Amino acid sequence: MNIIELSEKFPTERKAVKYFETIRWGKKILCPYCGNDSVSDYDWQHRHRCYGCGNAFSVTVNTQLHRTRVPLKLWLFAFSLISDAKKGISTLQLQRNLKIDGKPMDYKTVYKLHNTIRLLMAMETNKTDQLDGIVEIDETYIGGKLRLGERALKEYKPQKKNAVLDAQIAELREKGVNFKRGKGNRAAYDLPSQGRNPKHTPVIGIVQRNGDVVAEVMKTITHEKLKAMVKEYVDEDNATLVSDSAKYYVKMQNIIDHIAINHKKMYSYKGVNTNSIESFWAIIKRGIMGQYHHVSPQHLPEYISEFVFKYNNRNNTNMFGILVKNSMKPL
C-alpha cells in the first residue's frame, strides 16, 4: 500500500486503530486480559474498558507494538515506506518523513521503530519451504572488501572449456537436471573474486533459482555449519547444489548432488554459476553502502533479515499487510 492510498484510507488515527483491531480480533473486540467480549467504546485515547475485569486496554496490548507511544497511523506509514524501499531506507530519512503535528519525531524513537519493523520482518526470515531444483550457495563478507592489484586483474583469463565440468553436467543431465540461468541474472565474466577478509563478518546464503533465499550470519565458516544449513533448508533428494570452489563446499557431494565452479577460471559455464546468490549479495551491499553506510556486527542479522524478507516477497503486492499482521502477533 503506497502513501497516497494510506492517506485516503486512514485520514485519522481512529481509522488506523480500527484497522489494527480488525487484523487482531476480526469483527468482535476481545479483552486481552480476560478474553471477555463485553467492552466499552473508544475513549479519547482510543482505548476500551472491559466490563468483566475492569481493565482498560488498547489494540497494541501484549502485541509486538506493546506500550508504543507512536500513533498507529505513523506505524502504517513506516510500514509502507520501509517495505517499498528495495535497498532499504535510512533512519534519518525515515525521521524526515514521519512527523507529528508537523514536527519530525525524535531520532531515538524512529531508530527503535525501525528496529522493531526489522524484527517483524525477521519473523518471516528463513521460514520458506525447503529449496529444491537448482540451488546456489555462497558466502559474502560484510564490512568492506579487498582490492585486487592490477597484476591479478591482468592475469585473469576466463576459461572457455572445462572437461571436468562437462562430465559433471552430462551426469546431472541424465538425472533430469537442466541448468538455466536465473531470471534476470546474466553471467559475469568481467572480474575475479575480490577475496576474503577474516576481520569482516561472514554471511552464508542459499537461494533457489527464481525462488526464495535463506541467509545466516556466522562468526566463523566451517564445513559442518554449512552442511547443517543445507540439511535444514534444502531438499537434498530433489536439489542440485551449485557453489564456487571454496574449501568449505568440497565435501558437499556426500549429502547432495553438487557441482562447483572455479571463479579463478570462470564465472559461468553452460548454466553452472552462482549468479542468483551473487545478485542477492549485490542488493545487500548496495543497500549498506548507499543507505546505511555502516552496519555493526551486533545488528547485522536484523539487516540481513530485512533484505531476505524483501527478496522473498519481491512478487508479493501485500508486503505491507504482512508487517501489519506480524505487528499484532502476541509477545
In angstroms, the CA 82 to CA 116 distance is: 12
- CA distances in angstroms from 34 to 61, 62, 209, listed in the order given: 12, 12, 48
For the chain, how big is the Rg over CA atoms in Å? 24
Task: Tell me how crowded residue 137 is: count the other CB atoms within 10 A of its CB.
Answer: 27
- Provide the H-helix boundaries in the chain: 3-9, 13-25, 72-84, 91-97, 107-122, 150-155, 163-174, 223-233, 275-287, 300-312, 319-327
pLDDT band at 144 (very low <50, low <70, confident <90, very high): low
Provide, rounded to the nearest whole percent, the portion of the chain with pLDDT above 90. Answer: 73
Q: State the cell numbers at 4.
A: 497516497
pLDDT band at 16 (very low <50, low <70, confident <90, very high): very high
Maximum alpha-carbon separation in the chain: 79
Q: Is the per-residue pLDDT at 158 higher than 90?
A: no
pLDDT band at 194 (very low <50, low <70, confident <90, very high): very low
Q: Which helix (H) or strand (E) holds 255?
A: none
pLDDT tens track for 98-125: 988 888 899 999 999 999 999 999 999 8
In angstroms, the CA 291 to CA 87 distance is: 7
Across the chain, mean pLDDT equals: 89
Q: Is the per-residue pLDDT at 261 higher than 80?
A: yes
User: Nearest Cα to 204, choosing from 183, 184, 223, 178?
Assistant: 223
Q: State the cell numbers at 123.
A: 519473523
- Identify the sign of the CA torsion 52, 53, 56, 58: negative
- Give start-end residues of each CATH 3.30.420 domain in the chain: 131-286
Q: State the cell numbers at 313.
A: 516477497
pLDDT band at 186 (very low <50, low <70, confident <90, very high): low
Taking a C-beta distance cutoff of 8 angstroms, is the pair 305, 213 a contact?
no
Amino acid 306: pLDDT: 96
Amino acid 150: pLDDT: 45
User: Nearest Cα to 253, choosing from 209, 215, 223, 273?
Assistant: 223
In angstroms, the CA 181 to CA 28 distance is: 50
- Which CATH code is given to the segment(s) 131-286? 3.30.420
Q: Is the per-residue pLDDT at 181 higher than 80?
A: no
Amino acid 283: pLDDT: 94
Give whichever of 21-25, 84-88, 149-153, 173-177 has the largest mean pLDDT: 21-25
The number of angstroms, rounded, from the C-alpha of 245 to the middle of its chain's C-alpha atoms is: 26
Amino acid 146: pLDDT: 45
Amino acid 153: pLDDT: 47
Mean pLDDT in residue range 5-26: 96
pLDDT tens track for 25-79: 999 999 999 999 999 999 999 999 999 999 999 999 999 999 999 999 999 999 9
Give whichever of 26-40, 144-158, 261-275 has the largest mean pLDDT: 26-40
pLDDT tens track for 238-258: 999 999 999 999 999 999 999
Q: State the cell numbers at 322.
A: 504482512
